[in-house]
Amino acid sequence: MFGALASAVSGLDVGHWPARGADLEVDFVLTVGVRRVPVEVEYRRRIDQRRDTAGLRAFLEKAANNAPFGILITQAASGVVDDPRIVSLPLSTFLLLR
């Protein structure tokens, strides 16, 4: 659902970032101009801050990815993450942004 809605936004390029060698997988990578924003969809009640954000953190740490922040799509607003580079956003809120 996230990918279909994100791909309908004009001027936004949406891609998948599969695991490659030692690089972890990220569900989607949104590209706006030269900036990339990794998106991880963890639609569940409980978020494990380490496990569920590992791909986002790995993507953000690589300077070549040119990613200022990452987005964690969650089921509820309670999926808050301690890392200031990761924005936690319930899917229902994302759906309102369109």
pLDDT tens digits, residue range 6-15?
888 888 899 9
- Cα separation of 71 and 28, whole Å? 10
pLDDT at residue 2 tops 90: no
Range of the domain at 22: 2-97
Name the average pLDDT for the chain.
88
pTM of this structure: 0.88
Count of the separate structural domains present in the chain: 1
Provide mean pLDDT across the span 63-91: 89
Task: Classify strands 70-74 and 86-90 as parallel, antiparallel or unpaired.
Answer: parallel
What is the predicted pLDDT for the residue at 97? 72
Reduce the DSSP state of residue 24 to 3 states and report it.
coil
What is the predicted pLDDT for the residue at 57? 95
Q: Which pLDDT tens digit goes with each residue over 24-38?
A: 889 999 998 899 999
